[in-house]
Structure 1
Amino acid sequence: MQRTFRVEGMSCTACAASVESILLSLKGVAAARVNLNEATVWIDYKPDQVTLAEMKEALEKVGYSLHEDLLLNLEEEEQHFRLLQSRLRNRVVIAFVFAVPVFVLSMFFHHRHEWYLWQAVLTLPVLWAGWNMIVPGFRRLIAGHSTMDSLVALGTTAAYIFSLSQMVLAKMGMLAGRGIHLYFESAAIIIAFVLLGKYFEERARRNTNRSLKQLMGLQVKRVIRVGLMQDEEVDIQSVRVGDLLRVPPGSKVPLDGCITEGTTYIDESMITGESMPVFRQPGDKVVGGTLNQSGSLVIRVEKTGADTLLAGIIRQVREAQASKAPVQRLADRIASVFVPVVIVIALLSFIAWIIFDPDHNIYRAFNALFAVLVISCPCALGLATPTAIAVAMGQLAQKGILIKNAESLERMTQLDAIAIDKTGTLTRGTPQVNSVFSLTPLDSQTWQAIVAIESRSEHPLARAIVACKPSRLVDIAVEDYQYTAGMGVSATVGNQRYLIGNELYIR
């Protein structure tokens, strides 16, 4: 079974590698691919060997949470994003409100011992603001799946504990004649700025997936269901297979189904790429997300929710974004060992300063340890490639081009020939009048009558004729206008009867 789940708690490419590693360690999981920008994971697993509960439990042990709902609905996705952004923004505000005073006290009043306690106390709310980063960081470090959060957690916690111990020892008189070094401001400022970076990173991820959200925006939220006595407007989530839905002209077809009543022209360009609307009548299939241009329809629902074609397109785009190009897999391998290597280097730096420093100054050693832990960050290495791939695939999906996987996108650089269908791809996507052929010359009065009649039609060819011959239509009276679906229109202008349509209609 192959499914895509939403994952919360990931902040860097090391987190993505950690989630994949944990899932792949479970018996029954054949493959797992994380889409960091979408915060989702695609899993190929055998339900008879591993359950969803077991996968959730394995991830929760190291601070990640697995959710079944993919938030395919744009409104739900936006609401979820706003909630996460609001929580993170509140933590950023709290962190800076308390971190700035700690920084001021440390920089300008460091010689005033009576302010040391205030630094320790004011740093506690900052640690609380970063608690959702510190605790998972340690849990992942203990489990052997260290991430960027592990580096920050180690560095800031070590700084706070070291500073607190120095303050206590100085109070007890055990540091007489020796200077006291506090790092409360370092722990506070670093947590505040890391949280701020996470806030902007979340906003960037949202912008990265804007094209995918536009696809999700094609989904209808409210529909008109045909009842025994009268029609009723209901939420699309309550619609079931077999229900009859009314689709007014100018609205989107809500779900995949079959027309039972009415004729119309439907713009299916989001599915086929063809700019010309297609004539549909009872018995024809319609696809959710396409646009009903003219007539009123009644359709019988055949597919709902994740089974619709539009939901399938969104799912394919997400799975394609989750796939990894060869260069991305290389970056992930480097990032997966980056954090442990940084921790080892930090410890070696500390030991080296203790051994080779002539004064054997523990404070300088701690400065080196702290600097290596906090400054090192593998995010830029791991986020650049998946972000670029997500943006590219999202933009292509918006233009109706679906990429099977990231490897295919990368291999496009080696192409020497491209085959492209013409309509809506190499053309403007809208019909235009290039030339006029007539058995007899058309005078200005005839053109004005044609334009006046066609201005009442919503057909793309009618719009092209109107755009080709703009005319003042105020004084032109159009009478007895009749529209025949799939054929053409007829009307009377002055004392002349006009027929405009296909060859069969004219005959």
Structure 2
Amino acid sequence: VREAIVSFTTEKARVNYIPMLISQSDLRKAVAAAGFQTLETGTESEDAEAKAREAEIKEQRRLLIIGLILTIPLFLIAMSRDLGLLPMELRHAPWLDWVMFVLATPVQFYVGRQYYVNGFKSLRNGSANMDVLIALGSSTAYFYSIPVMFGLIPGHVYFETAAVIITLIRVGKFLEVRAKGRTSEAIKKLMSLRARTARVIRAGEELEVPVEDVLVGDVVTVRPGEKIPVDGVVVEGRSSVDESMLTGESLPVEKFPGEKVIGATINKQGAFRFEATRVGRETALAQIIRLVEEAQGSKAPIQKLADQVSAVFVPAVIGIALVTFAVWLWMVPAPVAGSEVNAFTRALINMVAVLVIACPCAMGLATPTAVMVGTGKSAESGILFRSSEALERAGKISTVVLDKTGTITRGQP
């Protein structure tokens, strides 16, 4: 592999490799070993991606609903107990802890399963991501509560803490995937501009073929009102073409033999034939789409700083939690006689508090998500950024200079 560029926000990877030394199946195995999945796509890759995105949103919504259904009553029971709102006989009833255990267990191991799996794979690859922190914080509170429930150690159960951690992060995950889905609409709108079929002249006959089958050198016929399927040069006929999707200019542009035409623009009147010069991923529209995708996946300078902080954040939090446990266990005076907790339990509770407070993983998601939404919204307004660095610097612009042919109107005569 010569180069690999991965964007977790767009969930895409560009890999430059030597086919003689490695195959696509080897790359898929490497991705699977790192804890991720690859999506098989064909010529309609955007449709496959849209279906995968929709399925992910549905799955995150389903897990969130399950988490809320179980966590809300669990939280209400725990708070009513802690605030003294329950009758005395219920507050200390042994079966109440079992009810909380039954409500918390599906949240811990079903709704939160993804964090255990991803956290384990992260540790297996020699790193510690945010999933490790989430799994560690929630499971510590959960597994501490089990011996308390059985009466093996004194104290309160904290099943609601574990469930609330996972459910709240599920809320953030659902909002994240929904934001990604909405932002990708900008690219979908660009893709929808493309023609689906083309009329090509082969062996003296006019054939209608999928636009993916058009080859460089093919002569293509375009009738009035049709979209031009690919980029090319007019060889026969005259017409006027609406190029507003590319230039923003509302007035049609006259086309005659020798003039260039651009794929996805609309033929207004008159039929003509042109020779295809750029097809597939080489057309102007495909390059615009690729530009938006690359801008969404690129890293702004501030994001690089966030990545550096995230790399040491999880180990630092775990270290602080262990120090907290040691300080409360050995350096803080022991609880008074008759207290509900002993020194070990108190130290464990404070360690869990450190892990829990550090669980939200917004630091690693806020910057790339902001870049993705910003570039997507700008694309919807006809503004394309070559990179996220340009997007970040755009906020400091005070003066815009245009050349004499620059279009600054709304394109409405």
Whether TM exceeds 0.5 here: the answer is yes
In the alignment, structure 1 residue 254 sits paired with structure 2 residue 190: no
Name the CA distance, whole Å, in 1 between partners of 2:359 and 2:347. 20
Match of 1:158 in 2: 140
Displacement, 1:272? 3.9
Mean Cα displacement is larger for which, 327-336 or 410-419?
410-419
In structure 2, the CA distance between the partners of 1:50 and 1:149, relative to structure 1 (3 Å rule), is same
Query: Retained in 2: the 8 A contact 1:208–1:387?
Result: no
Query: Retained in 2: the 8 A contact 1:393–1:402?
Result: yes
Residue ranges of structure 1 left out of the alignment (5+ in a row): 1-27, 432-507
Displacement, 1:98? 2.5
Amino acid aligned to 1:182: V
Displacement, 1:70? 9.6
Displacement, 1:241? 5.7
In structure 2, the CA distance between the partners of 1:49 and 1:416, relative to structure 1 (3 Å rule), is farther
Q: Which residue of 110, 120, 126 corresponds with 1:138?
A: 120
Amino acid aligned to 2:316: V
Name the CA distance, whole Å, in 2 between partners of 1:65 and 1:210. 23
Q: Which residue of 91, 95, 103 corresponds with 1:122?
A: 103
Displacement, 1:86? 0.9
In structure 2, the CA distance between the partners of 1:68 and 1:279, relative to structure 1 (3 Å rule), is farther
Name the CA distance, whole Å, in 2 between partners of 1:71 and 1:327. 36
Match of 1:314 in 2: 289
Name the CA distance, whole Å, in 2 between partners of 1:210 and 1:422. 33
Residue ranges of structure 2 left out of the alignment (5+ in a row): 81-89, 336-341
In the alignment, structure 1 residue 345 sits paired with structure 2 residue 320: yes
Name the CA distance, whole Å, in 2 between partners of 1:300 and 1:179. 83
Normalized against structure 1, the TM-score is what? 0.67
Normalized against structure 2, the TM-score is what? 0.80
Displacement, 1:46? 4.8
Query: Retained in 2: the 8 A contact 1:138–1:153?
Result: no
In structure 2, the CA distance between the partners of 1:192 and 1:289, relative to structure 1 (3 Å rule), is same
In the alignment, structure 1 residue 365 sits paired with structure 2 residue 347: yes
Q: Which residues of 2 match residues 53-202 of structure 1 at below 5 A?
A: 53-67=25-39, 69=41, 75-108=47-80, 111-126=92-107, 127-168=109-150, 170=151, 175=152, 179-202=154-177
Displacement, 1:140? 0.8
Displacement, 1:157? 2.0
Offset from partner CA, 1:83-118 (integer Å, 9 cap, x none): 111111111122222233433444455522124334
Structure with bigger RCO (C-alpha 8 Å, 6+ apart): 2
Offset from partner CA, 1:427-449 (integer Å, 9 cap, x none): 33244xxxxxxxxxxxxxxxxxx
Q: How many residues of Structure 1 are paired with residues of Structure 2 in the alignment?
A: 396
In structure 2, the CA distance between the partners of 1:249 and 1:50, relative to structure 1 (3 Å rule), is same
Q: Which residue of 252, 261, 265 corresponds with 1:290?
A: 265
Displacement, 1:68? 6.6
In structure 2, the CA distance between the partners of 1:78 and 1:65, relative to structure 1 (3 Å rule), is closer
Query: Retained in 2: the 8 A contact 1:424–1:430?
Result: no
Name the CA distance, whole Å, in 2 between partners of 1:161 and 1:151. 15
Query: Retained in 1: the 8 A contact 2:325–2:347?
Result: yes
Query: Retained in 1: the 8 A contact 2:317–2:358?
Result: yes
Larger gyration radius, structure 1 or structure 2: 1
In structure 2, the CA distance between the partners of 1:231 and 1:158, relative to structure 1 (3 Å rule), is farther
Amino acid aligned to 2:402: I
Name the CA distance, whole Å, in 1 between partners of 2:236 and 2:138. 67
Name the CA distance, whole Å, in 2 between partners of 1:405 and 1:267. 28
